[in-house]
Amino acid sequence: MSYKVRYVYPDRLYRILKKELDAAYFEVMSKGDFIDRQQLRRFEEDLASFVGTKYAVGLNSGYDALHISLRAAGIGNGDEVIVPAHTFVASASAIVNVGAKPVLVDVAKDFNIDCEKIEEAITPKTKAIMPVHLNGYMCDMVRIMEIAEKYNLIVIEDACQSLGAGMMNEGTGMIIKAGAWGLTGCWSFYPFKILGAYGDGGAITTNDPDVALFARRMRYNGEDRMTGEYHGHGFTCLLDNMQAAFLDIKLKYLPKWIDRRRKVAEKYRISLCDIEDLMLPHYKDPRRDHVYQNYVVRSKQGDEFSSFLADNGIEVLNQFRKPYYKHIALELEDHGFPETEQLSKEVCSLPMNPELMDDEIDYVISVIRRFYNR
Ligand SMILES: *Cc1c(COP(=O)(O)O)cnc(C)c1O
């Protein structure tokens, strides 16, 4: 099927950045700088300063960021970690793979964990909360940090979809970005994230020097590169130097790209907000901003709506039609999470990327209006 409007345009982006990306490629190739070189260190510094933390540690993927964070927090056998019922499966898999139990909590209308339902999920075994900032919109971290403090829980933010999003801290009136609230913020640079590599990539951000040091060792088989001493059984999960070089170039443009995403979102909002059967991702909390990693609408017509768009040449995603806890092999407890059940039938992510042309956005809008005027 040939699409009229694609979900993302990596080819267009490459044409825009070609000079810079090619130069970075030639520099890394000509020097043979593949592992743990200055490009990685520079990107880590720039990422930490963008997020507003003291440290960033580049890892191989978002999954690794979650996994290493849980280990840094000492979470393992017999522990419970609270995680939303609506997220990418990696959030829960990282918890299972350190031997702990994910305790699922339903989400609210903004697709993020329902803060009103967290306390009832806490037991004497609960060690941590893993809020997931989905689609580019942060969880209510003010509330989550209050709960964590009250019950003495560690917070590990799965911020893989929300680089650049922020929330105002009422105490100080300062905006604190996603990934700078918890013990760690976990990032993914999977190609189609808001900051995408050309292959897998990830990172953690943290203000804790011990956590940063732990991650630097664990990503390199537990080894301290200066002394050669192994400080534990580790993993091979370092962010490639080449990917770091590409990411550092793209990071400079991120604020501009986020502005463009917000303009695209505003265009969708203005043109679609009168359709009753369509719920748009615009929320009322003035303390939080949205970076629109994804523009996820909820259509009462579900698959019929998504198929109509696809049949008219618009590439859309339906994440996730089948909630992860309904996959039998994962052996997770299904407590019948009503909001997750309902939204998973209705979600549809519209094309959203900074390279979208105005006439392409207009086309998407016209097809949606045609669907609802049938
Ligand atoms: C992408 C993503 C991950 C995993 O990232 P990878 O880099 O693919 O391992 C985890 N959580 C969420 C919410 C994500 O969107």
DSSP, residue by residue, 206-224 = ES-HHHHHHHHHHTBTTB-
> Distance from the CA of 153 to the center of ligand 1, in angstroms?
23
3-state secondary structure of 191: coil
Task: Say what the pLDDT of residue 170 is.
Answer: 82
Buried b (16+ CB within 10 A) or exposed e, 281-302: beeeeeebbbbbbbbbbbbebb
Q: Where are the alpha helices (DSSP H) in the chain?
A: 10-31, 38-51, 62-72, 89-97, 141-151, 209-218, 241-272, 302-311, 338-346, 358-372
CATH number of the domain within which 321 lies:
3.90.1150.10
90 lines ligand 1 (CB under 6 A): yes
Answer yes or no: do 214 and 259 share one domain. Answer: no
**Model confidence over 229-272: pLDDT tens digits?**
999 999 999 999 999 999 999 999 999 999 999 999 999 999 99
pLDDT tens-digit series, residues 298-320: 999 999 999 999 999 999 999 99
Mean pLDDT, residues 129-140 taken together = 98
Compute the distance between CA of residue 288 and CA of residue 141 in angstroms, rounded to an integer.
10
Asked whether 132 lines ligand 1 (CB < 6 A), one says yes
For residues 172 and 310, membership in a common domain is answered with no
User: For position 94, what pLDDT does the model report?
Assistant: 98
Q: How confident is the model at residue 1 (pLDDT cuts 50, 70, 90)?
A: low
CA of 88 to the centre of ligand 1 (A): 6
- 268 with 234, same domain: the answer is no
Residue 271 lies in a domain: yes
Q: What is the pLDDT of residue 296?
A: 98
CATH assignment of the domain containing 40 = 3.40.640.10
**201 pLDDT more than 90:** yes
Mean pLDDT of the chain: 97
Q: What is the mean pLDDT of residues 325-330?
A: 98
Same structural domain for residues 330 and 187?
A: no
User: According to the model, what pLDDT value does residue 57 have?
Assistant: 98
Residues 31-68: tens digit of each pLDDT: 999 999 999 999 999 999 999 999 999 999 999 999 99
Closest atom of ligand 1 to CA, residue 61? 7
- The range of the structural domain enclosing residue 84 comes to 12-105+112-251
